[in-house]
Structure 1
């Protein structure tokens, strides 16, 4: 329908995106590892963070292992199609990114620590890919829920760019945007690497530390 669009690496325009559906994903349930509910409402003292950093299976595992993280979930965000399916996201015609939602206790783990995990756990210089995973759904992104999160995210990007440049690495391509709607991925994707310990995920860092 749009022969000029490279579905792997070109984001569609809103009018090109798949129509999606009005109903949200069913059967989200609880976290496979800690048995807490994946969906809201969450305890009032908790905050949310949202990151895209390549394969969401490995990204989620990075965060659920961190002390102070209350629950994690994988899903889709940053595109145009409401309530997309995994196959639709992989088609390149939704605009969505594979993301992990992190619900955390800021008294136990500050947002800046989550940013450190984000930067050090993937390569934020690769554009519309992460390792062997190629496509718009693998782009690097930080989706902020407050002005304070944005300030911290932008400051950390500057610090990490300095560290990457000193190590001879390229320019950061990470998008930092206000948090868009988050759509839960299918239940089989949730905590996938806990359910499938030998599952493949191409997520990998640069080896450069955020100072």
Structure 2
């Protein structure tokens, strides 16, 4: 699968040109509390994957672990045992041949997009060796909050349906409109860190811009 690798240049220039504190996301998902992990230490835990292609990060969930909200919204293909969720600047992320001008424009508040792509086999087999994958464990309630976070990242129409924009770069992938704002201080890596934070994983998204800032925090 080549999509993760092609994402490396999608934000590289933007990130190299910027530094500062990430702004909180406008996602309307319930915040995690420190007590969640402690009070549910013996609860059933689910495994999710964090993907790092060098500059871009995303999340991979088992289709069986999708909550009712995402299952209803996305209705994933039967042969997709896993789904990868990535978020980024709409013009740059969707461009077959992104330009430097698009990259500069992404430094400023701009429209965003969610890429959802299916994987029929184990996640490691879906990506080239240079793409890093790490598993993290979340509680059942953490998985519900993650489901809510991902669903809230999808822009919906008047009937509450997600808005597909175009096929993604690989078979079985799709770009969906997102109502969140992308800028130099709220990147795909900020978004991924927020998702993990809401799921109860002990990571901080404040001031997080680069992929390695997130990777160093993973348990």
TM-score (norm 2): 0.28
User: Which structure has more strand as a fraction of its residues?
Assistant: 2
Flag the structure with higher helix content: 2
Structure 1 length normalisation: TM-score? 0.29
